[in-house]
Structure formats: C-alpha cells, structure tokens
Structure 1
Amino acid sequence: MKLDKPVTDGPCWTELGTSDLEAAGRFYADLFGWRTRTDPRQEASGYTVARLGDAPVAAMSPRYQDTQPVAWNVAFSVTDADKAAEAVREAGGTVILMPRDIFDAGRLTVARDPGGAVFQMWQPRAFTGAGVFNAPGSLGWVELLTRAPAEVTDFYTAVFGWTVHPLEEYTQWGIDGADFGGMLEMGEGFPHEVPSHWLPYFAVEDVDLTADAAVRAGGIVLTQPTTVPHGPRIAILKDPQGALFGVHAVDHEH
C-alpha cells in the first residue's frame, strides 16, 4: 500500500467478527504482536481494539448474530456516510446497515456491492482509523474477490472515484495513482459456496516465517508463500476460528 495513513475514499480500518474473541486475540498476538483491549461499555458489545505500540491497527468483536460468518471485513473512509449510502444505492449496491453514530468516534454504514461483497464506510470524527499502514503487523493491502468484475469496477469507481490499473490477471485500485488494493476474479477454482468478499492483507517482515507461526498457533496455510510476478511475496492464511486473511512482505520503499 502506497498510502501511509487513512485518506478519504481509501481503506481506513479492518475488523474481525469471530466466534471466540479470546482465542482470536491470542492467535493474532502470537502472529503480529498485537495488544488487545476490550471496550468495557455494555453498549460496545465486546468490541476489542488491537494495537501495535500506541497505534490502533485493527479490531475484533463477537459475531452479532449466528448467521454472521467468521470473517474479516474492510472499511473505507468517507466524508459523509449518509451521502455515501445514497451513492451506493444509485450505483446498484445495497445498504445493509443504515448510517448510525458510533459513540463520538464516527458514523458507520455497511453496504453490499452488486457482486455480493460486503464492506463498511466510515465517516471519522474522534477516530480516523488505523494509526499505521504497511508496517509489520498492520494493514498493507485490501483485495476484492468477485465473480462480477465488470459490474463491481463500475460500482466502486462511481461510489469512490478509484483509479483502475488493469494487469494481466489482476486489477489494482488506487487513489490519484496510489494503489492500495486489488481485484481478483473468482474462477472455477473457487467453491460455489464461497461468496464474493474483501480480504485484508497484513504486512510482515517474513512471509514464510509468519506462515509457519500461524500453523504453530493453530491456523492453516491456504495459499503457500509465493512471490507474485512484479509484486511481493504473499500467503493466504486461516485463523483457528475460520477467518481468512493475507500477509505480504513489507514494502520498505514506502
């Protein structure tokens, strides 16, 4: 990710909805060195922020209903959550959660793109998002896996104004030329029951060592460490509760 802080229309935060908050906290602490703290307020429903040093980098929470999958999700920063929700509807998406205030931190809305992938939009107030990007243990890239690439390209460029950088078998998203994520078409190799989704990648110093550490901590390596042509070394992992996430070698040039 060339972005080093949250910017309007770019990714600003990632959250894990999990079936075992304590176990997930231990797993990611082992993997990334995160320190977690659960909000004690009852109305926060167990919301837990993970930090590297003093910087917030991600969050975890219990699932809010039994049908909610164990999964990571991605939030994008917007200047006005209500206008962003309207833009989603106008572009052919669906608003799942109407804009609502989250204490004094900001205003949140949850949406689904025309291909079925769910994402969040965050209007910051007291909380702007992750305190660090593309440093070891922090969010470094976001990837959309979809079965409707043409539709969702039109959708996201309409809603956020992203730049589109097509490569041979991959498309990269950017803001004013700063690429922060990508899109991969889900072909026949993906099981039909796997829905379109956003996948966060966390930056690490050594992808191979991180994959080994994930296995020792009870996780699974889904995609073995591999070096992407003209790109970084990556792996896709699954935590012990079943949530998927990626890791990539940190880019020291940015």
Structure 2
Amino acid sequence: MSERGSYAPGVPCWVDLSTPDTQGATGFYGALFGWRAGFDAEPEAHGYGMFHLRGKKVAGIGPLFHEDLPAGWHSYVAVSDLAETLQKAGAAGGRTAFPPTRVTHAGTMAGLRDRENAFLLLWQPEQHQGCEVVNEPGAFAWSELNTRDPAAAQEFYPAVFGWNAGGDAYYTRWQLEDKAVAGMLPMPVDVPAEVPPGWVVYFAVEDVEESAAKAKELGGGQTSPFIDSPAGRLAMFHDPWHAQFAMISGVQEHH
C-alpha cells in the first residue's frame, strides 16, 4: 500500500528540495514526475511549498534559508523527541547542524550532521506527518547514505535511531524492527576528496531510461550509468541547478 498517514519514529518520512530557483525547479519536477506545486502565502512559511501527486503530498520545495542547509534534496527522519534524538547524536559523535525550529503548526525540524559530516534532517510531527504517497511512480522511494566510513555509520545510526545494519559486506540495509527503512554504501575510492558524504533521495518511476531521457530534455543530467540492483533498475541524476537525486524503476515496497 503506497499511501501513508503516519510514520514510526526512526523511519524516513519526508523529502524536500532547497533550491536557488523555486519557480524553475517547480517546472522541472512537475514535468518530470507529474507533480503539482502549491506555495504557502503566509510570511512565516518563507516561500516553502508542497509538491502533490494525485492530490497527495509527496515532497517539499523551498529557497535556501539556512546556512547549514545545503542546496539539494534532503531526507527527514521521523522522531518522537527532538531533544533526546539530538542528545543521542551528540553522544555518538555527531553534531547539531541547526537547533529545533518550529514550522508553524506542521511540526518541528532540526538539522543533524553524522560523524562523517553527512547531513540529515529530523522531523517531530504535529499536523504534517510526511509523504502521503510513497513507493509508486512519481513518489519518494528510498534514502541512501553514501559514506567513506561505513563502520563509523554502523555505530552512529543505531545509537541515534535504533536501526540495525542488515545486508551484505558491500551494501547495508538499515532496518527498524526487521523492516528495511534506508540504505548505505561506501563511496568509490575515485570520488574526489572534496565531494562530501551525504544522503541520496530516490524517486520511483515507471521506466528509468525513459525518465532519464525526459530529465535531460528538461535540462538535467545523468551522473551514473544505469545499474540493475535487487531493488530495481536505477541511475543518479542532477537537476538544472545541480541538486542530486536518483530514480529507480521496479521498486520494491519498504518503510
């Protein structure tokens, strides 16, 4: 079932895009995924909007509004107690990127950096629980950490979210109560040192090669070859403003 009304603590629940061009990005992703965008006119929303698919919330979009919130796609993990989660992260060797910030009546967010400086957002929900549709074409499908130190991550994330590390020696499937919620793989040794570790957001599509062609027509680019994985056929991309994301077809249900 692809519709969601709530998320358990420790489960990735929302994704959003920070971009220097919200109008241009709205056009790009609308054409690529069939999304419609709506923006909150209230001043306290700071230009933040929501993407919808079939009338359901699937992602957010906003301008660059925080010095520690880089441009690009970001994953949010649901938590029940932000202060406690940030305390656990600090004790495990991470740091608070920015402190809890209430977002009108939607909920409260905070920024987190893990031991290798990979950036992740935390969400303590009120009225906004997260993505209302997942795991179907045009919707959020997976979050994946690319890191140079998987061993450090395998200590950090279980301490913060209670995740267990499954999978094999190369690919880690983060699990919460035996249900896969996210992934991790080591960054290739030939990746330049200035490229930081980080979380990649995956979107499901009907046919990744057709969607790749569409992304290129719209001004985006492909940054990896097509890969056949146990989860589906996938590739990495960037939009015209160089925000990175991945697309996958044949996705299996999870989280």
TM range (shorter): over 0.9
Contact 1:204 1:248 in 2 (8 A): yes
The aligned length equals 253
Q: Match for residue 185 of structure 1?
A: 186
Tell me how far 1:44 sits from its aligned partner. Answer: 1.2
Tell me how far 1:8 sits from its aligned partner. Answer: 1.6
Contact 1:85 1:99 in 2 (8 A): no
Corresponding letter in the other structure for 1:47: Y
Contact 1:2 1:178 in 2 (8 A): no
Unmatched segments (≥5 aa) in structure 2: none
Which deviates more, 149-158 or 177-186?
177-186
Tell me how far 1:90 sits from its aligned partner. Answer: 1.3
Q: Match for residue 37 of structure 2?
A: 36
Corresponding letter in the other structure for 1:225: F
Between the aligned partners of 1:175 and 1:95, the Cα distance in structure 2 is: 23
Using the size of structure 2 for normalisation, the TM-score is 0.93
Q: Match for residue 170 of structure 2?
A: 169
Tell me how far 1:100 sits from its aligned partner. Answer: 2.4
Tell me how far 1:181 sits from its aligned partner. Answer: 1.7
Between the aligned partners of 2:135 and 2:201, the Cα distance in structure 1 is: 12
Shift in CA distance, 102/162, structure 1 to aligned 2, threshold 3 Å:
same
Deviation per CA, 1:194-228, whole angstroms, max 9, x where unpaired? 11111100011111111111001100011132212
Deviation per CA, 1:219-245, whole angstroms, max 9, x where unpaired? 0011132212x3310011110000000
Percent of aligned pairs with the same residue? Answer: 36
Using the size of structure 1 for normalisation, the TM-score is 0.94
Corresponding letter in the other structure for 1:114: R
After TM superposition, which residue ranges in structure 1, 4 or more long, deviate above 4 angstroms? 1-5, 65-68
Corresponding letter in the other structure for 1:240: P
Superposition CA RMSD, Å: 2.0
Between the aligned partners of 1:112 and 1:3, the Cα distance in structure 2 is: 30
Unmatched segments (≥5 aa) in structure 1: none
| Matching of residues 31-110 of structure 1 within 5 Å | 31-64=32-65, 69-110=70-111
Structure 1 position 214 matched with structure 2 position 215: yes
Shift in CA distance, 251/65, structure 1 to aligned 2, threshold 3 Å:
closer
Shift in CA distance, 253/87, structure 1 to aligned 2, threshold 3 Å:
closer
Tell me how far 1:41 sits from its aligned partner. Answer: 1.1
Q: Match for residue 231 of structure 1?
A: 231
Contact 2:44 2:104 in 1 (8 A): no
Between the aligned partners of 1:162 and 1:66, the Cα distance in structure 2 is: 29
The SS at the match of 1:158 is helix
